[in-house]
Each structure stands twice: as C-alpha cells, then as structure tokens.
Amino acid sequence: MRRRRPSTKLADRRLRVLLAVFAVVFGVTLARAAWLQTVQASGLASKGASQQRESIVVPAGRGTIFDRSGVQLAIGEQATTVYADPKEVVNARAVANAAAQTLGVDANALYPQLVDRSKGFVYVAREADPVKAAALEAKHLAGLGFYPEERRFYPLGTVASQVVGYAGIDDHGLAGMELAREGTLRGRPGRETVIKDPLGRVLDVLNSAPERDGHDVYLTIDHTIQAEAEDALRSAVAQWHAKRATATVLDPHTGAVLAMATAPGYDANEFGSVPPQYQRNSPVTDVYEPGSTFKLVTVAAALSEHLVTPMTQFFLPYSIQIADKWIHDAEPRAAETLSVGEILAQSSNVGVATIATKLVGATRLSDWISRFGFGHDTGIDFPGESPGIVLPRDKWYGSAVGTIPIGQGIAVTPIQIAAAYAAIANYGVWVTPHLVDHVIGGAGPRVVHRRIVSTAVARELMAMLVNVVAEGTGTLAHVPGYDVAGKTGTADKPDPQTGGYSTTKYVASFVGIVPATAPKLVILVTVDEPQGAIFGGTVAAPVFQKIARFAVQYLSIPPDNPSELAASSASATSQTAVSSSVGH
C-alpha cells in the first residue's frame, strides 16, 4: 500500500490558500471599482478633467508713459513669477535653498509655506528677474511653476516721479498718472484653455481669447525742463533749509504743463520705501495761503469794474484798520501817495486793501475770486486735486474784506495761481491746465477756454506786472534779454495751535511770465518755510530766474529785449579789452 507524500498535501494546502487570497483581492477590487464608478464617478471625472484641462490667463502689456518729446517715463519690463504647489514639492528644504541662492528670497520664511500641504499655491517670488528665474527652472525641482509677468520700471528715476506716480505689484496704477489713466494704460488680458499631459506639458489649445495691450500715453511734461526745475528746487531747499519747494511751468495759451516739480522728491522705482509726504504732487494736491500773488485778483476786479485805472492814486498811511484788524505794509514807511500800478509793484498791503473796499458791495469781490477759479477744481487731469479753501460770501468775518484781497484767510493750490496768471498772459482767457498731451488710440484731454477779463484789462495788468520785476519787489527774477512780468508773495503760515498766524513760518513765492511782450511761459515757484530770509523776491524769484533762463534758451524763445543783450555783450567785450590792456 502506497502512502501520499507530505509534500503533495502541503502544496495542495498552499494552492487553496492562494486561491482564497485571490478571491478576496478580486472581491475587494470589484467592490472598489463599483464604488468609484457610482459614488465617486462625478467627482473623479471632474478632477480628471481639471488635471488635463487648464485655463491660463495671458497678461496684457501695460501702456508706456512718454513725455512730450517721446522720452519714456514709465515702461513695462518682462519678469517671471515663480510659485510652488506644496502638495507636489518633494524636498521643501532643497527648493527653499535653491530659491534663496538664485532669487535671493528668504529660505527660512519660504520653507514653512512649502511644507504646508493644506495649500495648493504659494508665491516663491513675484516679478523676479527672468534670467535668474530661468536658472532656477533649469534645476527641475518638483513642485515649482513659472509664468511671465510684466513689472513697471521708471527709467528717469526721480524725474517727474510725483506726476507719473507708480503701478503696484499687480500692475495696477496706485498714484499719479498711472492711477489717473489706469483704464487707458492697463489693457485687457487674454485667456487660453489648454490640454496638458500628466507632466504638465501642453498637448493642445482648445480655445483662446487674445490679450489687448494698454494704450500709450504722452504727457505735456518736457523731461529736460522738468529735470532743470527739480534741480533748481533742490538747490533752493538746501540753501534756505526749507521744508518743501514747488515749481510749475505752464504754456498760457494751451494750458499744457511743461514741468511740475516738488522737492524733496523720490525715485518712483523705490515707492514702497518712500514716506507718503514725498510722493504728493504738491502743486495740485496741497493748499497754502498765497499772500501777495493773490493781489492780482483784487486789482483785476477793480479794473474790470471800472472803479480804478492803473494811474488812479491813493493817499496811503503805513497801516489802516479794517474791522478788528490792523493791516500794514511789510516795511515801515511814511504816508505817501501811490498809483494802482505802484501799489502792485511795491506790493502794498494797505494799498490793495484800500482798493478792495471799493469792491465790497454785495458779492462783487467774492464773485471775482470765483471767476478766477479759486474755490473750484481747475479740472487738471490728475487725481486728488484740491479746490482750495474759500469762505462763501455770507461767512466773511469783519476784517475779511481787508485780509482776503491781500491773500490771507484764503487757501489755494499752486496750479490755481499759475492758471490765473496764465489767463492774464493769454489776453484774459483762462485755459484748463492739463498734463496729458494725447493718447495713442484713445481720448485726449478736455480743455476749456473762458474769458475772465477783457483784453484791455489783461494788457494793463501785464504792464503793471512788468514794473514789479523792473523796479519793484521782483528784480531778482530778471532774465537778461527778456522782459519779465511777475509778482512776489510772502505769506504767514497759519498756526493751528494758536488759531492765528506763525511768526516764524512763511511761504515765499514768485510767479512770472516770460517774455512779457509775447508770453510763452508762466512759471510759479513756492518755497515752504525758508530759513534766513522769508520774502518771495529774495527766496523764490532767483529760482524762477534760473528755470526761466534755462527754458527760454532750451525752447529757442527769442528775446523781446535784444538791445539789453547787445549792451551786455558790448560791456563784456569792453571789460575783456581793458583786462587785456592791463595784462600787457
């Protein structure tokens, strides 16, 4: 009798166990498949589609901002944004260190974000240098992604930075013309729907909507005059240890702003680290009491109302009382008789206040202030313009009829003063000041013209303003070879603590028109809180002279007093000859 071998029995037993295991695995697999095809079907289908199909935003290029001659003030530069999907990152420490080495990011700050698998997207670096980003991409680190972006760059740095403003990290305009013309500059991004393989490579483009780049904007600013104005202001601030200074250069016939400068300034490329007070475009947004430059309005009103002529004379003491306030001139003097022209040339507070008393009837002076644009926006195409502070006529206090006409108790912006004088230079027609010259493929500025005084009155005022520079308080504004019309201003600054006026803080200003016989430029200079001297004729007039002298030469504006240049040239030649003779 033969016995069955133990090895055969063991083999049968193992076979039965293996079949049982296969049966269990098959059952579990079948159940899993059934569950996935029923309960999880819709979710998995959606996930699978999303893994294969992706919608990609194609960024649009932001329009360039140019100056009037085509020099770039704000441009778009190509950059690369680097991001990571923590769920796909294999070695977070290696990725953080590589990003630190190539892009300069903080590895210790990045690492915790990379190991947080609850997130599907984190920025590694926004708008990074594309060359450095390419070097990082070449390392083929799992979990990293790259896409192109545009970053804003300001080639001239500080030049016109308060006017141009800046755009932020997402290419949105945040200040200045970048903000004012956001809709024009930004453009419209495109979009593509693509199919990708498991490795993320694009296999096909299902559909696409093309991007539309933003429109280019040309400003009225001339970068060369702007740079010269900024340099002149920096020198003035340093010389007089002033808090701030501004300059506005305006074409009186078109309203085009050729320069609008503020010192101290800042580099628009570093806007994130610059205090807000340095970023303000002060000629448009900041108000100040104008002092004597405002006297033009009072005299223009009296001339237009036929209450005086330039030759009308007044006997003027050193001081007069109006209501509860004594008004006096800047320098002590004996009582004297002055004509209207002499009152303006010598900037007599008493004289202008006396003239103003003739305008007090009803709302005549108040109406003229409004007519010149004070208390209203000029309409300049810049965000944040202030209308100034002008009391309505029914709220004028007793002495206001004497103080407001001389530029106290009223607050204005530099652009309002510049526009008012530009109207006189433009034969009595006020023109909307503007910073945009034209837009490629878009709308340009809306410029309004309105007459505020007659041509005859404008000519009378111009003649009186010439005397201010020729023999009055503005002699330091003289430009050789050119007749200059202008007005000085020295204003006490209000003191919020006392409710009165400071005895140590002033705003010195000068506004001038050149050439006076055929006006081409209006230039206003203000110097806030100068130290050592306070008068506009001493502090601000020389700054005007420096800017004006450069501008007339740069723009090839012919002199209207060439005989003066000839005399100066002859004198210089004579002195040279004498020196040569002495040398021998």
Annotated catalytic sites, by residue? 292
Q: Which two tokens stand for residue 277?
A: 């007070």
Centre a 10 Å sphere on the Cβ of residue 200 and count the other Cβ atoms it contains. Answer: 10
Q: Of 144, 146, 142, nearest to 130 (Cα)?
A: 146
CA distance 418 to 306: 25
Enter the DSSP assignment of 61: P
Strands (E), 518-566: 521-528
Separation CA 455–CA 45 (nearest Å): 80
Angle, helices 41-52 vs 6-38, to 10°: value is 80
CB 288 within 8 A of CB 262: no
CA 50 vs CA 17, 199, 207, 459: distances in Å:
43, 14, 15, 75
Alpha helices in 244-360 (DSSP H): 276-279, 282-285, 295-304, 340-345, 349-356
Positive or negative: CA dihedral 229, 230, 232, 236: positive
Q: Using CA atoms, how far apart are residues 242 and 264, in angstroms rounded to an integer?
A: 10
Cβ atoms within 10 A of the Cβ of 267, count?
15
Which residues, 6 or more positions from 459, have their beta carbon under 8 angstroms from its beta carbon?
A: 427
The Cβ-side half-sphere exposure at 220, using a 13 Å CA radius, reads: 22
Nearest to 324 by CA among 396, 395, 393, 399: 399
Amino acid occupying residue 52 = Q
- Tell me the C-alpha distance between 400 and 359, whole Å: 12
CA–CA gap between residue 344 and residue 333 (Å, rounded): 16
CA 570 vs CA 420, 563, 576: distances in Å: 39, 10, 10
> From CA 84, how far away is CA 286, in angstroms rounded?
45
* C-beta separation of 266 from 278 below 8 A: yes
Backbone angles phi, psi at 72, to 5 degrees: -75, 125
With CA atoms as reference, report the closest residue to 437 among 261, 254, 280: 254
Torsion of CA 178, 180, 185, 188, to 10 degrees: 120
Distance CA 221, CA 229 (A): 12
Cα 431 to Cα 380: distance, rounded to the nearest angstrom: 10
Please return the burial class of 494, using the count of CB atoms within 10 Å of its CB with bins 0-12, 13-18 and 19+: middle
Q: Which residue's structure tokens are 């070879």?
A: 481
Q: Parallel, antiparallel, or unpaired for β 336-339 and 313-316?
A: antiparallel
Q: Helix 130-137 crosses helix 92-103 at what angle (to 10 degrees)?
A: 150
